[in-house]
Structures are given as structure tokens and as C-alpha cells.
A and B are shown apart, each in its own frame.
Chain A
Amino acid sequence: MHFEPTTLELPKHLRAMLDAQQGPATAEGLPRRSFLKLTAVSGFALGAFPLGAMAQDAAKPAAGLKPTQQPSAFVHIDKDGTTTVTINRLDFGQGVQTALPMILAEELDADWSKVKSVHGSSDPAYIDPVFGIHITGGSGSIAHSYTQYRELGARTRAMLVSAAAARWKVDAASLRTQNGVVIGPGGKKLGYGELAEDAMKLPVPETVTLKDPKNFKLIGKATGRLDAKAKSSGKQGYGIDVRLPGMLTAVVAHPPVFAAKLKSVDDSAAKAVKGVKAVLRIPVDRGGEGVAVVADGYWAAKQGRDALKLEWDASGVEKVDTAAQLVQYRELAGKPGARKYDADVSKFDGAPHKISAEYVFPYLAHAPMEPLNCTVRAADGKVELWMGSQMPGFDGLAASKVLGVPPQNVQVHVQMAGGGFGRRAIPSSDYVVEACNVVKAAQAAGIAAPIRTLWSREDDVKGGYYRPMHLHTAKIGFDAQGNVLAWDHVIVGQSIMAGTPFEPMMMKDGIDGTAVEGMKEPYAVPMRLTVHHPKQNVPILWWRSVGSTHTAFAMETLVDEIARTTKQDPVAYRMKLMGDEHPRHKAALQLAVDRSGYGKKALAPGRAWGVAVHESFNSVVAYVVEASVKDGTPTLHRATAGVHCNLVINPKTLEAQVQGGALMGLSMCLPGAAITLKDGVVEQSNFGDFVVPRITDMPQIEVHTVPSGDAPTGMGEPGLPPLAPAFANAVASLTGKPIRELPFRLA
């Protein structure tokens, strides 16, 4: 389900827009108008990529069905019954590689032991049926493709049954299916493998009847990952493992200050490194310049890159300094700005109780374990890319522009990715454009070989596209019962959407929807929310759970502080403040409370409870945690999650997604979890100074779900946001001082 490492997040706002335009989108149809709108702004066109790479030759497409609804692009059944399901997403750990086939196999009545799965491509069949573009993000893989994959399975099943009926010369209605076989009169059987060739020549039925969910056999069953063996033996291939005949490797020297130009290049030592084939000046992201060293392997290319003597000209670009930036953000916070909410806050001055708070959230790197890479082969007017991409359509279009070939001549082969967390969904296609520029320069220098451009970890940590740094301020007035009289809140941070193709739909009245998602709801409070989006010379991007990475922290620690100040139980206070409007929040929170023993169990000495609940991507997660503070160091011991994501497809992946989200939430709290700049240069470089959690940081995490049969909502990201505030609330109740900075700084 579940999306994990990652993230795109057009979600709530794009979804709201889609819903407003044509009612709820379903797998029945591409939301045409929205799609066209996006097409217009991005220049990406549905027909830009040829249908067919994965299609079975014999398939007869049904005229009334869209590419996303044609079984031939998604299911291939071999003679031995092996059933290969193509997924229309990138799997980078979230488990859609198993969950999507489960959904299809459920309606197909497939023999699960014979099901395999493969990644799709930039073919139009593999667009997100709701968003209308190729995208893995917004925790949307299951939420958007649940009905689509059920229908694909049901259509395939109907075609197999028709083929069997023709073979036996009986009425199709007299046949049933089970575990990969069609069962006929007298109990005679035909395996799907024996029928597939005939079946795929038949017309594709437009309408199919789906199963009653109470008859599900696979959906909802804890199921092992299809890739578990490959990923436990070194056999799983990733983008970085792609090896093409004659392939070379490039490592690029990026400007130390974003967008700086080259003043001089001395490549004599680089060219002397054994294995180096060429040293090439190339344009890089944001109008900067760089130098690519192309060699027969990574090590030679890296040695060559390190041997370059480069002088840079950063005179024309802004040199960001985090300390000065914070001062600037504080000044901005005091000025009038765009208003997301505009409640009357005049009662603040006379309120019996007041909180005046300032929160600081740093830049954060995604740092997926597989370093960024893109392999490009450009020959005979065609371009092929191999990479783990969350947006292969955008990336293919970017490649076509750089290399000057028509979009239909570009094919993106989506590869399993070693994490992503949003970094592989780049509206600017930064590292893809760079890899294509390397190939372009190499071809100009007479090198025709395919080239893999590979980033070092330092390139990744220093390379930008961070979760933006944010400053929040809040002035809250409330009475002795905790009734909020006025909540005056300000958010200052760079806009993720501004300047991207998503800007027209994601920005309204100067406010980036992703900067304010998660604010106010689910609490009925009179809020004035002012937003400032300063421009900075630092590339920024969505990072798993996007705006909720900071809004959940501010909201849930502030609500907790009101409860503490007015001496109310933080759970009871939240329940009261939510009113009657939010049954899923309440159910998730109550489940976490019940399963954790909150309020009943005696805690170990030195420990305190912490609570938080937050909705993101239409799913709600609540945590009840146990934490302690020893010698000024906070420790998270245990977290109990209450989850409401409607129907659960695979409980195993759900648990993994919540645990992984929780750990990434914890990562924001720990020392060293910050990217800072000085004189325009990023100060961190690798896992030594940009610190991520290790096994020694892992708390006990239990995951419980609220039972529901409603259509599933996403779980790639929602496990992340409430963890940090729950931990902070526990620490605050121990120390008596609220935590208002990430990573935690205990005053």
C-alpha cells in the first residue's frame, strides 16, 4: 500500500480540485478535464508515449476502454500458468509491487503461488488513473488503483471463462473459477495457462461485476512480499545495477554554491587517471555549470572528478546563510502576508491564558540508500532511460527536450529503487536532465556509448531538493477550560510548488497548498493563518508527508500545551476539541489509547506518555508513546499506532509502512538531522554529519488498524507526521518545557 519512501504530494489539494471539477474520480475514467489542464501547464501529453511495450500482441483492445483499463498491458499469463502483473508505479520499498498484484489476483482468482510482478514504463497505460500522469506519490498507489486493478483482474477472468466456454461449448455462466483454473461441468478443469492465448484474443468486456468484499481471499491477508527472496540474496536489480554493453560511468562536479558558474577548469590531472575517457563541461541545474568526468567505471570517474582543479564564479548568485535566513524569516513573520484562514483574533489580548511560540524546522535531505543515478542510451534518434523514477512521464519529456528527439522516441524503463521519499519525483527532473546533458556533451566529443551518471553520497547530501526550512509563529489565547479564543499563526517557508508545472493547481492566492496542509483540522479553533513564501537559492522538494512534516508538529504540540496548561488529559482534550466531526480521527486515537494501556498501565520510572493524531493523504494515524529523558537526552521507548486507512490490502506492508514512517518521523527529532548552509555552501556531506536513525534508535512500535470495508486510503506517508509531536509531548511533560525546534533542542 503504501507508499513509502515517498512522496509526491499533490494530494489533498489536487484531489480537491479534481473532485470539484468532475465529481469523485474513479478507475472508470481518466478525469479528462483535469488531465488536459495539467497537460496544458506541463506540456506533457497523454499520447506522447507509444502504447505497447508490455502488451500481448494478440490482445484486442475494447474501443470503449482506456489504456489504463486494458488487461493486455497489465496481465500476462504463460502456458505454465505463471501470471505476471505489471505495476503502474515505482516500488521503492512501499510494497505496491506485491499489493497491486494482490488486488488484481483477487478478482482474477489467480493461483497466488504463480503470481509475479514487474514495473511498467512511461507507456500511457501506466498513468495514475486519478491524476492522469505517471506518478508515484501522494500516498496514492493503492487509493487510486484499487478499483482499477480489481477491474483489470475481473476483465481478465471473464475473458478466460469465455475462452473455456468456447473450448467446452457450454454457457460461460455455468463455469466458475478458483485458484488459477476454470472449472466446468462435471468438475472438469482448464488451467489459466492453457486458456490465456485464446482468451487474450477475445474482446475485452467493458463492464464487469466485482466480488463482494466479504468473499475476498487475498485482500486483507498478511502476504509476504513477492520480492522478499530477491531482496534477501543480492539478486534484486536496481537502477544503479543496470549494465549495458559498452556502458561508461560519469561523475559530475557540481558547483559548491547552487547555480554558480565555472571560472576555470584544469583537467590535466583528471585526464591522467587511468580509465578516464573524457572531461566535459556541462550545464547543470538552475542555470549553473559543472564538469562531468566520464570513465569506464565509477571509481575512475570519481578519482578523476576529485582530481579536477576548478575555480567557481558565484558572484551572480545568492549565497544563503542559515543563521541570516532565520533572522530574515523572523522579520517576515511580523509582516502582513497572504491569508489561508482569516478568523478574528482580537480576543488574544484579553485571553486568560496565552501561548506565544516560535518553531524552527530545518532543511532535510531525503538521502535514499541507493544514490541517485540515471542511465541513458541515445542512438538512432531514440532515447532510453533506466532509473527508479516516480514520474517517468516528466522525466521522459525532459530527456526529449535535452537530447532533441520527439517525446514518442523516449522510453523510460522504470527500475526498482532503493528508497526515494520524494527525491525521485522532481518537477525539474534535475538529475535526469544532468545525465542527458552528459550524454549530449559526450556525443559532441565523439563518445557514442550509453552512460550511467552516478551521484556520490556527498553529491546527494549537498545536492539540494530539501524539505524546505520553515519558521512558524503562534499566538494562542484560551480560557481555563481550554476553549481557544484566538489562534494567530504564521508560516514562513519556500514554496515547493512555485515555478513547477503544478503551480497553477497547487497555489491559490499566493499560498502553496502543501505548506499549510495539516493546519487547523481536525480542531474547531478560530485561526488566522498568514503565509509567506520567500525565495531562496536552495532547491527544495516534497519530503515524505510534505507539509505535514512541520504542520503536524506545530499543531499537535500546541494543542497538547493548551491541555497541559489547563490541566486536562491530552486525549480527552483532543476528543473534546474535535467535536462530532471527525469519527476516523477519534477511532484511531481511541485505538492507540486502548492498545497502549494509556492511563491504565503504570509506566516504568522516568517515563511519560505522549500523544498525537494527524490526518494526511486521507488516512489518520495516532500515536501514544512512552519516552524518557536522561542527562538531557530524550529517548523514545515505545510507540503504539492507531491507524484508520479504511480497507487494508496487505497488513504486513501496512505495518512496515507505519513503522518506517514512524522511524523517519523520529529521524527529524535526533541530533544531526538538519541541513544548514554557510556562505551558500551546504555544510553537511554524508551520513557522518547528516545523521539518520540506526537500529539502536529503533523503539518498539506496535501497529493497530481500525476495521473498515471502505475503499482504501494511502499509507505511504501518514505514519510519519504524528510521531515527532507525540515524542515531543512526552518530553515536554517530563521537563515542563515545550519543544519548539527540530531536531529537538532541550533548553
Chain B
Amino acid sequence: MSTLNINGQSRQVDADPSTPILWALRDTLGMTGTKFGCGQALCGACTVHLNGQAIRSCVTPISAAAGQKITTIEAVTAGTDKVGKAVHEAWVKHDVAQCGYCQSGQIMSATAFLKTVPRGKVPTEAEIDSAMAGNICRCGTYARIRAAVADAAKSLA
């Protein structure tokens, strides 16, 4: 039994310590907002925050999260996280999603990125591309992802 801090709550997880955070979230805790895409940290669909840093939960074992804070899409877009709320609203405004499957991971990457951008600064397209390059979207929503990230940055300024 491992104890994890997920979205500010202490959760007991009955899983082997080597189990990736992704599967503890999805299969053990039933939190399905975080998605499985590749299992190899190649596509970013499983992105969550560990102490505010974007990480790939499909290759990060729960043992690496002991005593640390895991934040998932469910909390980031719940309205209480100012940056996450801005990103969520920009995603809706720009109708970013098509199939939507990768978008939890895209939003988690965008939110972690914008938390590193000084308020008042709108990142350049190259900076956005660099921050979002680890997240694959097979539908091709990238143009709207660029627009939504920039718009979220403006709304936070």
C-alpha cells in the first residue's frame, strides 16, 4: 500500500511501487482524465504535474511520487487553479479539441509552461512550439493549440 498526494488529497493505492502513476490513477483510483497513449514518454497524453513540473505519468513509478504532490487534469481545470482555468477557457474558446483524446496532456503541458512565463509576457510561437513539442495530436489541432496558449497568456497578463 502506497500513500500518494493527489490533487491535495491523501490517497491510498494498493499497487506495486513500480506501477506507473498513470495506471494507479486510471485503474486503481478510477481517475480517467489522464490518458494512455504510448507508454514510453513519447506522446505526452499522460502528462501530469509532479510538484508543478510536467512529467510523463506512464513512465514515472508511484515510488517516485512518495511525499510529493501529484496534480491531474481534474484539478487543473476545476476552476481553482488560475492558470489552469485560463488554459481551459482558452481551449474551449478556440474549440481546440477534435477527438480530444490528447487534450488532457496538452492542457497539462500548457499549464505547466505558462506557470513559468512571467505574467504580462505573451510567449512567441517558437516558445510555444518548444514547450508543446512533447505532446502529439494525431488530429492536427496544433494551430489552435498555439492560439489558445497565447490567448491564455494574454488573459493572465
Contacts and interface: CB of A to CB of B under 8 A. Distances in A.
Given A228-B91, A299-B23, A687 B136 contact: yes
Contacts of B129: 695-696, 698
Given A299-B15, A456-B39, A687-B43, A656 B98 contact: yes
Interface in B4-50: 15-16, 19-20, 23, 26-28, 30, 32-40, 42-43, 45
A517 to B, nearest CB: 23
B33 A234 contact: yes
A419 B38 contact: no
A93 B99 contact: yes
B77 A457 contact: no
Nearest to B148: A232
Given A233-B77, A418-B100, A5 B142 contact: no
A370 B33 CA distance: 13
A234 B74 contact: yes
Contact of A369 (B26, B30, B101): B101
- Of residues B34, B73, B101, which shows the largest number of chain A Cβ atoms within 10 Å of its Cβ? B101
B146 interface: yes
Contact of A660 (B32, B102, B140): B140
A370 B99 contact: yes
Interface stretch (A74-82, A236-244, A627-635): A236-244
A274 B17 CA distance: 12
Interface in A1-23: 4-5
B27 A297 contact: yes
B99 A232 contact: no
A375 to B, nearest CB: 13
A342 interface: no
A590 to B, nearest CB: 24
Interface residues of B, number: 56
Q: Which of B74, B88, B103, B138 has the most CB of A within 10 A?
A: B138
B19 A695 contact: no
B104 A234 contact: yes
Interface string B105-143: 001000000000000000000001110110111111111
Nearest to A689: B42
With a 10 A CB-CB cut-off, give which of A234, A299, A302 has the most chain B CB atoms: A234
Given A232-B107, A456-B39, A687-B43, A418 B92 contact: no
B40 A656 contact: no
B32 A237 contact: yes
Interface in A236-283: 236-238, 240-241, 243, 249, 274
B98 A234 contact: no
A600 interface: no
A663 B15 contact: no
A659 B143 contact: yes
B54 to A, nearest CB: 15
A232 B103 contact: yes
A745 to B, nearest CB: 24
A693 B140 contact: yes
A243 B133 CA distance: 32
B42 A688 contact: yes
Interface in A263-321: 274, 296-299, 302
B153 interface: no
Contact of A94 (B20, B34, B98): B98
Contact of A5 (B23, B73, B97, B99): B99
Given A369-B37, A369-B43, A659 B101 contact: no
A392 interface: no
Nearest to B107: A232
A652 interface: yes
Contacts of B139: 4-5, 93, 369, 419, 656, 660
Interface of B is mostly: loop
Interface string A651-674: 010001001111110000000000
A698 to B, nearest CB: 4
B150 interface: no
A419 B77 contact: no
Given A233-B77, A369-B43, A656-B141, A228 B37 contact: no
Nearest to A296: B27
Contact of A229 (B19, B92, B142): B92
A642 interface: no
Given A238-B101, A656-B98, A659-B140, A297 B23 contact: yes
A371 B33 CA distance: 15
Categorize the interface residue count of chain A: 35 or more
Interface string A50-75: 00000000000000000000000000
A714 interface: no
A707 interface: no
Interface string A86-99: 00000111110000
Contacts of A224: 92, 95
Contacts of A369: 35, 37, 43, 45, 99, 101-102, 136-139
Contact of B91 (A5, A232, A296): A232
A701 interface: yes
A633 B132 CA distance: 22
Q: Pick the most buried of A4, A238, A695: most chain B CB atoms within 10 A of its CB.
A: A695
Contact of A457 (B40, B73, B97): B40
Interface in A363-387: 367-371
A91 B37 CA distance: 19
Given A663-B140, A693-B140, A233 B97 contact: no
A508 interface: no
A692 interface: yes
Contacts of A4: 98-99, 139
Interface string A397-441: 000000000000000000011110100000000000000000000
Contacts of B72: 234
B130 to A, nearest CB: 8
Contacts of A663: 140, 142
B37 A371 contact: yes
B145 interface: yes
B20 A299 contact: yes
Given A227-B97, A231-B100, A698-B142, A457 B38 contact: yes
B87 to A, nearest CB: 8
A694 B133 contact: yes
A134 B153 CA distance: 44
B96 interface: yes
Contacts of B140: 656, 659-664, 693, 698
A692 B138 CA distance: 7
A353 interface: no
A535 interface: no
Contact of B32 (A243, A662, A700): A243
Interface of B: 15-16, 19-20, 23, 26-28, 30, 32-40, 42-43, 45, 72-74, 77, 88, 91-92, 95-104, 107, 128-130, 132-133, 135-146
22 contacts: A91-B99, A240-B35, A243-B30, A299-B15, A367-B138, A368-B101, A368-B138, A369-B99, A416-B99, A419-B99, A456-B39, A656-B140, A660-B139, A687-B40, A687-B42, A688-B40, A688-B42, A693-B140, A693-B142, A694-B133, A698-B140, A700-B143
Ranked 4 nearest A-B pairs via Cβ: A234-B33, A418-B101, A93-B99, A231-B100
Interface of A: 4-5, 91-95, 224-225, 227-238, 240-241, 243, 249, 274, 296-299, 302, 367-371, 416-419, 421, 456-458, 652, 656, 659-664, 686-688, 692-696, 698, 700-701
